[in-house]
């Protein structure tokens, strides 16, 4: 049996001073190359963001005089404090909900012998392929006053509504549910590669399962947990769709409530959204600093060592059925309820409450309409090409970056900051910056699939980084050191040791980016030209012109296809790797 | 502003069909066709529904002239972002763009519209071909009050704007929170234009006490909320949406609350367009009987007087109702009068 590193004595920090280290680090060239590549990708949109926030927009779209109006407007409403408070509550509670549900689910799936575990990955893949444009309305309908939940309540003799979806609780539920797949994946990657021996030792020393969770499992998952929490928190703080679509009915005002309107104005007032992001950058920089302090003690979390490691599931007694129940609950929330709701909407000729009487009028017309349209082949090919390329490029870059940062190699701080930057750039600002870039580029990029790929790479860098960085944190240095001792050059070591060990994280990240990029509407709409249409364009066309039943039918068929593609990919990888990879 | 006079004009135009028929059906000049063919293609940024309008038009045009129509689906905001960026870089891609009105003023401010009125528009009502020639009207859509027929019977339903002040509708009415002429600001504009400044404001203040619910999303989302029974009355909803849903058995009906609000769907030529002649030829085709028939088949009431609407009741001529036209000229959020209407909306509702 191995003695597992809690390893506080092992210091991951470079011992030499930074300057001396820079020249000695055999990988400085690789680090520098990454800094340059990332800089080219991330900095132009960030400059656009800052510029948009500080200068007026003239009618022809160029920047005019310097102004602080955009920032003044953030503070204008007079109830900034109230809005800030609401935003904070909304983001914190959504994060908490997503972490609680996703984290628990990940632990059950990776660490126990609970039944139905396999459903969790299926749930994640399918849910990641449902476009947001149908996911939010599905929940709004399900939880709404005429939705099945309040219907059942009234049937049971209640009056009015049991749950008012247009409330803070409604907003938090819908936002939080949407993040469960991501938190689940991030936690699962960490639980899977964490060494189970600490848990086993705890159980053998007489700790109860709860004690073990509190003192071993949770602290072990802390780095992954913090990264995921920070991530979801920032994204929720920036979200404007749910606050607008759900909160308007409740008269709830958040910091981002106005942004929804201002980017939909013609011409879009990008300055307002940009100013908000710049202000948020300050706040996040503080949080990042806290986080980087935590990651300083990185090697305390290294549990994949050179000594034998093979996580074994914890054998639970009756509790496994409780855990199985938690899995089912998550599957219900994340997948079954929204999918059934969408199916109901798609097969009813017009949106109506779930009633027995309505069953006679059910129709496959909406599906037939979508299936009879022959333009989808081109859209599907384009979408798959773009999403797969974006996922591949992002993960290739991030596997190197994640490892360099986790090992605190030279320039790691710069790399760390740069990979986090895109998180703060709203997608409309990113698209506009990319459009300018493409138009100015000497190589023809405008209206090509390439520029969409580049935009997606920038957008998904932080996601890719979370996967590879967390994965690399858990790899113990001794594996790499022994490669070095055996005479492997750093590049060989990366290729033969680091990448294979990180493969589960890389594949999980790839799939996550692939699925998300394929359902991304806002970026794709602005950047796609007449010859580079993706499925997003078709969904958007339906969403602005058609009835919701048609959008639901198209979205469902799309999700179904993407799930099949993702599953096929997953099984292929499984077989090639001899079954060692589980998403 | 809109009155029965407009209808009379429309009706007059309809009656004049036989007189101008020969002219209306005149083919575009051979020079234009030749120049267009030399350009080979036309690029169109559109928000119209692809499988019912855009593709049939593109296919029909390609078949007739052998010129390919490349289209990209965009919203008004995206159209503006894209074309202004292209212009700054000197690489304009788009030849044509269509809009529910909002994009015309900002595109003109950016100096990116080439004034043009196709010959095929000659027999259309003047509201489809403004003197500025900045845009050409494709169709008019009509916004009005709708009610859930399961919850509110036809007799009980409000008939006039005054009826909306009845206390029984308090908290039962919904409208979208669209910040344009097709949303509440358009309702406000209609009231002020019809009732006058003083009486209109007085009415709006009373209406604001009725606690109208703001539904985020477009007019289709709003009418769906009325259909599901979440709200009894929908304001500023499209009459053609009501008719389409009615056809599928939905409990919804539209009310002829006069004057209705008319919203013009417009198309314009981009200044510096790479294929100007092909674009002009396409506009001739779009406004011909052939093009208008495709518009009609997609359930929009076409502007072409030779092509009657599929559902006669939704068109002012055959449905016999008055309306206030809120054309692209008043649809800019940065300019009057919409700015004032938005202010009233923010203050009262």
Per-residue confidence (pLDDT) for residue B227, from 0 to 100: 93
Q: How far apart are CA B44 and CA B70, in angstroms?
A: 6
Q: Which residue of B has its CA nearest to A536?
A: B73
Looking only at the bridges linking them, the beta strands covering B173-176 and B233-238 are parallel
Query: Measured between CA atoms, how close is B6 to chain A, in angstroms?
Result: 28
Contacts of A245 in chain B (CB under 8 A): 216-217
DSSP H or E stretch at residue B263: strand B260-270
Judged against a pLDDT cut of 50, whether residue B210 lies above it is answered with yes
Judged against a pLDDT cut of 50, whether residue B44 lies above it is answered with yes
Tens digit of each residue's pLDDT (9 = 90 or more) over A468-477: 887 888 787 8
Cβ(B120)–Cβ(B349) under 8 Å?
no
Instruction: Please give the C-alpha separations between residue A308 and each of A121, A221, A500, in angstroms, as whole numbers.
Output: 26, 20, 16
Contact A146 B229 (CB under 8 A): yes
Per-residue confidence (pLDDT) for residue A297, from 0 to 100: 54
Judged against a pLDDT cut of 60, whether residue A213 lies above it is answered with yes
Q: How far apart are CA B18 and CA A479, in angstroms?
A: 89
Per-residue confidence (pLDDT) for residue A73, from 0 to 100: 80
Alpha-helix runs per DSSP H in chain B: 4-15, 17-24, 30-39, 55-65, 76-88, 104-109, 184-195, 197-208, 219-227, 239-247, 276-287, 289-297, 316-319, 338-348
Nearest to B72 by CA among B101, B117, B41, B102: B41
Average pLDDT, chain B: 90
What is the domain-level CATH number for residue B288?
3.40.190.10
Contact A350 B250 (CB under 8 A): yes
Judged against a pLDDT cut of 70, whether residue A241 lies above it is answered with yes
Q: How far apart are CA A333 and CA B73, in angstroms?
A: 33
Backbone angles phi and psi of B58, in degrees to 5 = -60, -45
Tens digit of each residue's pLDDT (9 = 90 or more) over B337-346: 999 999 999 9
Same domain, B88 and B166: no
Same domain, B271 and B255: no
Judged against a pLDDT cut of 60, whether residue A219 lies above it is answered with yes
The region of weakest confidence among A190-199, B64-73, B159-168, B253-262 is: A190-199
Query: Measured between CA atoms, how close is B43 to chain A, in angstroms?
Result: 7
Nearest to A220 by CA among A184, A182, A183, A193: A193
Same domain, B66 and B150: no
Judged against a pLDDT cut of 90, whether residue A260 lies above it is answered with no
Per-residue confidence (pLDDT) for residue B11, from 0 to 100: 46
- One DSSP character per residue, B116-127 reads ---GGGTTS-GG
The pair of structure tokens assigned to A198 is 């600490």
Same domain, B116 and B136: yes
Q: How far apart are CA A184 and CA A188, in angstroms?
A: 6
Same domain, B146 and B89: no
Per-residue confidence (pLDDT) for residue A194, from 0 to 100: 67
B43 at A interface, C-beta within 8 A:
yes
Per-residue confidence (pLDDT) for residue A198, from 0 to 100: 77
Q: Pick A184 or A259 by higher pLDDT.
A: A184
Reduced to 3 states (helix: H, G, I; strand: E, B; else coil), residue A551 is helix
Contact B77 A531 (CB under 8 A): no
Same domain, B154 and B274: no
Residues 6+ apart with CB under 8 A from A325: none
B48 at A interface, C-beta within 8 A:
yes
Per-residue confidence (pLDDT) for residue A305, from 0 to 100: 56
Could you give the angle at which helices A28-54 and A69-76 cross, rounded to 10 degrees? 70
Contact A353 B228 (CB under 8 A): yes
Per-residue confidence (pLDDT) for residue A490, from 0 to 100: 79
Per-residue confidence (pLDDT) for residue A291, from 0 to 100: 65
Contact A530 B80 (CB under 8 A): no
Tens digit of each residue's pLDDT (9 = 90 or more) over A108-121: 998 888 899 888 88
Tens digit of each residue's pLDDT (9 = 90 or more) over A423-434: 888 787 888 888
Q: Pick A127 or A217 by higher pLDDT.
A: A127
The answer to the question of residue B328 being in a domain is: no
The region of weakest confidence among A76-80, A181-185, A510-514, A538-542 is: A76-80
Q: In which residue are the tokens 């699962």 written? A: A188
CB atoms within 10 A of CB A367: 18
Per-residue confidence (pLDDT) for residue B165, from 0 to 100: 97
Per-residue confidence (pLDDT) for residue A341, from 0 to 100: 94
SS (H, E, C) A38-86: HHHHHHHHHHHHHHHHHEEECCCCCEEEECCHHHHHHHHCCCHHHHHHH
* Number of domains forming the structure of chain B: 2
Q: How far apart are CA B252 and CA B144, in angstroms?
A: 13
In this complex, the residue of A267, A530, A548 whose CB is nearest that of residue B71 is: A530
Judged against a pLDDT cut of 70, whether residue A292 lies above it is answered with no
The pair of structure tokens assigned to B111 is 């100096």
Reduced to 3 states (helix: H, G, I; strand: E, B; else coil), residue A260 is helix
Judged against a pLDDT cut of 80, whether residue A303 lies above it is answered with no
The answer to the question of residue B327 being in a domain is: no
Contacts of B214 in chain A (CB under 8 A): 248-249
pLDDT (mean) for A59-82? 80
Q: How far apart are CA A262 and CA A369, in angstroms?
A: 34
Per-residue confidence (pLDDT) for residue A304, from 0 to 100: 57
CB-facing half-sphere around the CA of A542: CA atoms within 13 A: 22
Judged against a pLDDT cut of 70, whether residue A243 lies above it is answered with yes
Name the DSSP letter for residue A494: I
Query: Measured between CA atoms, how close is B274 to chain A, in angstroms?
Result: 14
Q: How far apart are CA A190 and CA A184, in angstroms?
A: 10
Nearest to B102 by CA among B79, B84, B85, B83: B79
The answer to the question of residue B321 being in a domain is: no
Read off the pLDDT band of A293 (50, 70, 90): low
How many helices (H) and strands (E) in chain B? 14, 11
Contact B85 A249 (CB under 8 A): no
- One DSSP character per residue, B44-64 reads EEE-S-IIIIIHHHHHHHHHH
Cβ(B79)–Cβ(B267) under 8 Å?
no
Per-residue confidence (pLDDT) for residue A319, from 0 to 100: 84
Query: Measured between CA atoms, how close is A351 to chain B, in angstroms?
Result: 6
Per-residue confidence (pLDDT) for residue A441, from 0 to 100: 85
- β-bridge partners, B326: B263
Residues 6+ apart with CB under 8 A from A165: A139, A140, A143, A144, A145, A147, A174, A246, A249
Read off the pLDDT band of A10 (50, 70, 90): very low
Q: Which range of residues forms the domain containing residue B154? A: 142-261+333-348
Per-residue confidence (pLDDT) for residue B15, from 0 to 100: 43
Read off the pLDDT band of B36 (50, 70, 90): very high
pLDDT (mean) for B3-19? 46
Tens digit of each residue's pLDDT (9 = 90 or more) over A354-401: 888 888 888 888 898 888 877 788 889 999 999 999 999 999 999 999
Q: How far apart are CA A432 and CA A438, in angstroms?
A: 10
Average pLDDT, chain A: 83
Percent over 90 (pLDDT), chain A: 23
The answer to the question of residue B325 being in a domain is: no
Architecture of the domain spanning A24-576: Orthogonal Bundle (1.10)
The answer to the question of residue B326 being in a domain is: no
Reduced to 3 states (helix: H, G, I; strand: E, B; else coil), residue A264 is helix
In this complex, the residue of B86, B180, B250 whose CB is nearest that of residue A439 is: B86
Total residue length of chain B: 349
Q: How far apart are CA A89 and CA A172, in angstroms?
A: 9
Same domain, B213 and B277: no
Q: Which residue of A has its CA nearest to B217?
A: A245
Q: Which of residues 7-66 of A touch B (CB under 8 A)?
A: 59-62
Judged against a pLDDT cut of 80, whether residue B349 lies above it is answered with yes
Tens digit of each residue's pLDDT (9 = 90 or more) over B271-304: 999 999 999 999 999 999 999 999 999 888 888 9
Same domain, B218 and B344: yes
CB atoms within 10 A of CB A24: 11
Same domain, B200 and B184: yes
Judged against a pLDDT cut of 70, whether residue A577 lies above it is answered with no
Per-residue confidence (pLDDT) for residue B121, from 0 to 100: 93
Alpha-helix runs per DSSP H in A156-217: 168-193, 197-204, 209-212
Per-residue confidence (pLDDT) for residue B25, from 0 to 100: 56
In this complex, the residue of A249, A439, A531 whose CB is nearest that of residue B89 is: A439
The answer to the question of residue B324 being in a domain is: no
Cβ(A461)–Cβ(A419) under 8 Å?
yes
Looking only at the bridges linking them, the beta strands covering B136-148 and B41-46 are unpaired
Could you give the angle at which helices A118-128 and A319-331 cross, rounded to 10 degrees? 10
Tens digit of each residue's pLDDT (9 = 90 or more) over A90-142: 999 999 999 999 999 998 998 888 899 888 888 888 888 888 888 888 999 99
Read off the pLDDT band of B18 (50, 70, 90): very low
Judged against a pLDDT cut of 60, whether residue A57 lies above it is answered with yes
Q: How far apart are CA A421 and CA A379, in angstroms?
A: 31
Contact B70 A249 (CB under 8 A): no
Contact A146 B230 (CB under 8 A): yes
pLDDT (mean) for B27-43? 94
Q: What angle do CA B125, B126, B129 make, to 5 degrees?
A: 110
Q: Is the dihedral of CA A431, A434, A439, A445 positive or negative?
A: negative
Cβ(A181)–Cβ(A124) under 8 Å?
yes
Q: Which residue of B has its CA nearest to A432?
A: B81
């Amino acid at each position: 049996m191995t003695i597992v590193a809690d390893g506080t004595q092992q210091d991951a920090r470079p011992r030499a001073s930074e300057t001396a280290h820079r020249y000695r680090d055999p990988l400085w060239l690789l680090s520098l190359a990454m800094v340059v590549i990332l800089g080219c990708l991330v900095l132009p949109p960030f400059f656009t963001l800052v510029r948009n926030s500080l200068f007026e927009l003239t009618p022809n779209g160029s920047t005019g005089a310097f102004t602080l109006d955009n920032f003044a407007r953030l503070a204008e409403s007079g109830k900034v404090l109230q809005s800030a408070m609401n935003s904070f509550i909304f983001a914190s509670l959504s994060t908490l909900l997503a972490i609680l549900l996703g984290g628990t689910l990940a632990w059950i799936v990776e660490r126990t012998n609970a039944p139905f575990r396999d459903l969790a990955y299926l749930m994640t893949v399918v849910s990641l392929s449902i476009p947001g444009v149908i996911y939010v309305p599905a929940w709004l309908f399900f939880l709404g006053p005429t939705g099945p939940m309040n219907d059942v309540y009234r049937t049971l003799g209640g009056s009015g509504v049991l749950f008012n979806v247009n409330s803070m609780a409604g907003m938090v539920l819908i936002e939080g549910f949407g993040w469960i797949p991501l938190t689940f994946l991030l936690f699962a990657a960490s639980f899977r590669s964490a060494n189970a021996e600490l848990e086993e030792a705890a159980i053998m020393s007489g700790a109860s399962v709860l004690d073990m969770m509190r003192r071993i499992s949770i602290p072990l998952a802390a780095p992954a947990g913090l990264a995921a929490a920070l991530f979801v928190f920032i994204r929720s703080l920036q979200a404007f769709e749910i606050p607008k679509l759900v909160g308007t009915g409740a008269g709830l005002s958040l910091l981002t409530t106005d942004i929804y309107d201002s980017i939909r104005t013609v011409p879009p007032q990008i300055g307002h959204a940009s100013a908000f992001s710049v202000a948020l950058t300050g706040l996040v920089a503080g949080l990042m600093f806290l986080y980087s302090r935590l990651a300083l003690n990185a090697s305390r979390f290294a549990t994949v060592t050179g000594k034998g490691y093979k996580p074994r599931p914890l054998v639970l007694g009756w509790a496994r059925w409780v855990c199985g129940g938690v899995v089912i609950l998550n599957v219900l929330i994340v997948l079954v309820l929204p999918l059934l709701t969408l199916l109901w909407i798609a097969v009813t000729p017009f949106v109506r409450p779930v009633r027995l009487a309505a069953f006679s009028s059910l129709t496959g017309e909406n599906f037939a309409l979508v299936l009879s349209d022959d333009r989808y082949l081109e859209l599907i090919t384009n979408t798959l090409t773009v999403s797969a390329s974006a996922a591949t490029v992002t993960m290739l870059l991030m596997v190197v970056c994640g490892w360099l940062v986790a090992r605190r190699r030279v320039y790691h701080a710069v790399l760390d900051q740069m990979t986090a930057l895109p998180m703060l750039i709203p997608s409309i600002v990113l698209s506009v910056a990319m459009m300018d870039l493409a138009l100015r580029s000497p190589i023809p990029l405008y209206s090509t699939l390439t520029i969409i790929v580049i935009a997606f790479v920038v957008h998904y860098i932080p996601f890719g980084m979370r996967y590879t960085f967390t994965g690399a944190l858990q790899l113990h240095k001794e594996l790499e050191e022994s490669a070095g001792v055996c005479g492997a050059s750093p590049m060989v070591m990366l290729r033969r040791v680091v990448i294979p060990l990180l493969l589960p994280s890389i594949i999980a990240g790839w799939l996550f980016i692939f699925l998300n990029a394929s359902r991304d509407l806002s970026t794709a709409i602005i950047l796609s030209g007449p010859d580079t249409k993706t499925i997003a364009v078709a969904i958007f066309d339906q969403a602005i012109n058609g009835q919701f039943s048609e959008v639901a039918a198209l979205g469902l068929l799309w999700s179904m296809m993407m799930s099949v593609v993702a599953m096929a990919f997953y099984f292929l990888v499984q077989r090639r790797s001899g079954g060692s990879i589980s998403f | 502003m809109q009155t029965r006079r407009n209808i009379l004009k429309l009706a007059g135009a309809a009656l004049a069909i036989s007189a101008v028929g020969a002219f209306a059906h005149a083919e575009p000049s051979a020079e234009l066709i030749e120049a267009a063919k030399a350009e080979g293609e036309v690029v169109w940024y559109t928000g119209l529904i692809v499988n019912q309008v855009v593709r049939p038009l593109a296919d029909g045009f390609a078949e007739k002239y052998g010129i390919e129509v490349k289209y990209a689906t965009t919203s008004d905001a995206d159209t503006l972002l894209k074309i202004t960026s292209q212009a700054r870089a000197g690489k304009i891609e788009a030849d044509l763009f269509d809009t529910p009105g909002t994009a015309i003023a900002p595109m003109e401010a950016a100096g990116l519209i080439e004034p043009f009125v196709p010959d095929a528009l000659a027999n259309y009502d003047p509201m489809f071909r403004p003197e500025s020639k900045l845009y050409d009207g494709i169709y008019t859509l009509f916004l009005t009050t709708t009610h859930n027929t399961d919850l509110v019977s036809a007799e009980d339903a409000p008939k006039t704007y005054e009826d909306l002040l009845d206390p029984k509708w308090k908290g039962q009415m919904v409208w979208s929170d669209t910040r344009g002429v097709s949303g509440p600001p358009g309702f406000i504009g209609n009231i002020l234009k019809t009732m006058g400044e003083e009486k209109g404001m007085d009415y709006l203040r009373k209406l604001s006490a009725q606690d109208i619910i703001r539904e985020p999303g477009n007019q289709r989302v709003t009418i769906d909320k009325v259909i599901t029974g979440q709200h009894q009355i929908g304001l500023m909803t499209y009459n053609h949406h009501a008719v389409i849903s009615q056809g599928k058995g939905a409990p919804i009906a539209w009310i002829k609350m006069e004057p209705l609000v008319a919203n013009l769907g417009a198309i314009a030529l981009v200044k510096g367009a790479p294929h100007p002649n092909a674009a002009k030829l396409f506009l001739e085709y779009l406004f011909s009987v052939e093009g208008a028939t495709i518009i009609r088949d997609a359930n929009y009431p076409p502007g072409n007087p030779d092509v009657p609407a599929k559902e006669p009741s939704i068109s002012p001529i055959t449905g016999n109702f008055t309306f206030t036209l809120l054309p692209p000229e008043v649809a800019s959020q940065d300019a009057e009068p919409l700015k004032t209407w938005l202010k009233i909306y923010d203050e009262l509702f």
